[in-house]
Amino acid sequence: MDAVTASYHRCRAEGDFVETFYEIFLAKSPEIAKKFARTDFKHQKLMLRESLLEMLCFEMGMAGAKDEIVRLGHRHHDLRIPPNMYEMWLDALCEAVAKHDPQFTPELEQQWRDAMRPGIELMVQATSAQSDDA
């Protein structure tokens, strides 16, 4: 198991990881909080866990993950998620990992960032391509 996947499992085992992520993320910007004003957080938390796994699978080159990431990018396009929110998302994710992974280090944070970056870039590309088709 790679370091980021192991870290993800430690975070999940620590409890409240997803809740911590959303507390941090929503506090990053009033614009982000507005995007989640009518969100069913029970469902959203499940979606985040699923999305993180898809991002890890994509980064590892697993079959089918690319299609899921593109689909997620299209969904974000429909929700009018601007590219700068992806950076805030990644910052919030790393902050939540720091709070929940007892083995967190700056090196592990960089590994998380490196692991999430390909999926984020694919979502942004999917969003841009969808805008170009409109």
Tally the domains of the chain.
1
Identify which of 45, 113, 130 has the alpha carbon closest to the alpha carbon of residue 79.
130
**CATH at residue 120:** 1.10.490.10
Identify which of 128, 124, 126, 105 has the alpha carbon closest to the alpha carbon of residue 116.
124
Q: What is the pLDDT of residue 77?
A: 85
Q: Residue 34: CB partners within 8 Å, gap ≥ 6?
A: none
pLDDT band at 14 (very low <50, low <70, confident <90, very high): confident
| Domain interval for residue 76 | 3-133
pLDDT, tens digit (0-9, with 9 covering 90-100), for 74-83: 988 888 888 8
pLDDT, tens digit (0-9, with 9 covering 90-100), for 81-134: 888 899 999 999 999 999 999 999 999 999 999 999 999 999 988 776 655 555
pLDDT, tens digit (0-9, with 9 covering 90-100), for 17-58: 999 999 999 999 999 999 998 889 999 999 999 999 999 999
